[in-house]
Structure 1
Amino acid sequence: HMEAGHIGENIYLQATALGLGTVAVGAFDDGRVARIIGTTGDPLYIFPVGRRV
């Protein structure tokens, strides 16, 4: 979990450097997300990245 936090920080920093926005999403259907992205592990965060509005 600590490593996921460090990765999230880097996503925020890189998005900001590129003039983009992001937000950490931690409340979602774990099983559904795992099936959609095709992983056997449990996802911890989702970080959508895009233009700021």
Structure 2
Amino acid sequence: MSSLARPKNGRMIAGVCAAIANRFGISVTLVRVLTVASVLIPGPQVIIYLILWVVFPSE
């Protein structure tokens, strides 16, 4: 497993989903779909995404 670093290649917005997918060895598309689906549910998902964008280092 790799570290939680936002990759330079394969980013769509900030690379948070790609970092999570790479870390856990799952499909980037699956993580992106789950992220978009979770935004439809009320809660702090967007704020968490923005925090992870700042916290995860770039490659």
- TM range, normalised to the smaller chain? 0.3 to 0.5
Structure whose alpha-carbon radius of gyration is higher: 1
- Which structure's residues are more often strand, by fraction? 1
TM-score (norm 1): 0.34
